[in-house]
Amino acid sequence: MKKRLLLGILVVCAGFSLVACSSGTKNSSSVTSTSQTAASISTEKTSTTMTRTQTSDTSQSADSSTTSDTQDSITQRRYSDKEKSAMQQEFLDWAVSRAKTGDLAVSNRYFDHGAAGQGDWFAETPDGEIQVQENEAGIPGYDAFAIHALGGVVFYTSSGQVTGYDEDTEKASTAEGYSKVADDSQSINKYLLADNGVVYELITPVAKTSFSTGFGEYADDGKTKDSTNGKIFKISKDQDAQNKWQQILANYNK
């Protein structure tokens, strides 16, 4: 009698454990929401080419507060406007494919501004300031910055159900910004493509994001500058983007 009772208890316990295990598996494989960053698309949508463990490991390395190793392996130089345009387009083509995978829209209008002075525009990063736009006056000029942006893209959830490249963003006025093209319940992901081989990223709510959000401008004296209001472009966790950008730079430095 005792043996039968014990066997019954073991069967019940084993059944309970199986149910609990199955429940845990289901929860761990749930699909991410549309508010996911562009970086998370790499983890959720490309599992056939990269395991979750590999993605996690590379993401952590990309999130480091310093990029000295990457900078040492990249030769920084002045690029012509033609070269910058070609590199920008090559990265945008890749970004369009990425956006379609994640049901997102993408545009290369990551930065723009209205009337401004003679100073250069910049962004803050963990590695220092990045020159984003050099005005003709050269205040403070190219050599005043250790890092320079060669291009960029912006990812967002389209309010008009657009996936991939969004032409409407190019038509928007500076005052409108992303307000008429992006779902204001989601976020804006701005990518900066820097000449040190790093992709930097700024994630902000749509309702609080304009074309100039995340950027500041030097005054005409070349010394004082506008604040970026605490907005700092961090090293992107999107390792696929990091790899693609470094590949593009390498092709132009052979």
147: tokens are: 């890092």
Is residue 197 assigned to a domain?
yes
Q: Report how far residue 242's alpha carbon sits from residue 236's, in angstroms, rounded to the nearest whole number.
A: 8
Is residue 1 assigned to a domain?
no
Q: Report how far residue 152's alpha carbon sits from residue 238's, in angstroms, rounded to the nearest whole number.
A: 14
- Provide the domain limits for residue 243: 35-251
pLDDT at 193: 98
Q: Report how far residue 75's alpha carbon sits from residue 71's, in angstroms, rounded to the nearest whole number.
A: 8
Q: Report how far residue 186's alpha carbon sits from residue 155's, in angstroms, rounded to the nearest whole number.
A: 11
Is residue 229 assigned to a domain?
yes
Mean pLDDT, all residues of the chain: 78
Contact 46, 240 (CB under 8 A): yes
Q: Report how far residue 138's alpha carbon sits from residue 108's, in angstroms, rounded to the nearest whole number.
A: 24
Residue 166: is its pLDDT beyond 80?
A: yes
The share of the chain scoring above pLDDT 90, in percent, equals 61
Is residue 8 assigned to a domain?
no
Is residue 236 assigned to a domain?
yes
pLDDT at 135: 86
pLDDT at 71: 53
- Per-residue pLDDT of 43-63, as tens digits, reads 344 332 222 223 333 333 444
- Per-residue pLDDT of 106-159, as tens digits, reads 999 999 998 788 899 999 999 999 999 998 888 999 999 999 999 999 999 999
Cis peptide before 126 (omega within 30 of 0): no
Mean pLDDT for 4-10 is 38
Q: Report how far residue 201's alpha carbon sits from residue 217's, in angstroms, rounded to the nearest whole number.
A: 19
pLDDT at 102: 94
Degrees to nearest 5, angle at CA 56 with 125 and 185: 65
| Bigger pLDDT: 1 vs 121 | 121
Is residue 189 assigned to a domain?
yes
Is residue 2 assigned to a domain?
no
- Per-residue pLDDT of 183-207, as tens digits, reads 999 999 999 999 999 999 999 999 8
- Per-residue pLDDT of 57-86, as tens digits, reads 333 344 444 444 555 567 889 999 999 999
What total of structural domains would you count in the chain? Answer: 1
Mean pLDDT for 164-186 is 94
- The residue type of 87 is M
Backbone angles phi, psi at 178, to 5 degrees: -95, 0
Is residue 30 assigned to a domain?
no
Cβ neighbors of 155 (< 8 A, separation 6 or more) are 37, 38, 95, 98, 99, 102, 104, 105, 106, 188, 189, 191
In which band, very low, low, confident or very high, does the pLDDT at 40 lie, cut at 50, 70 and 90? Answer: low
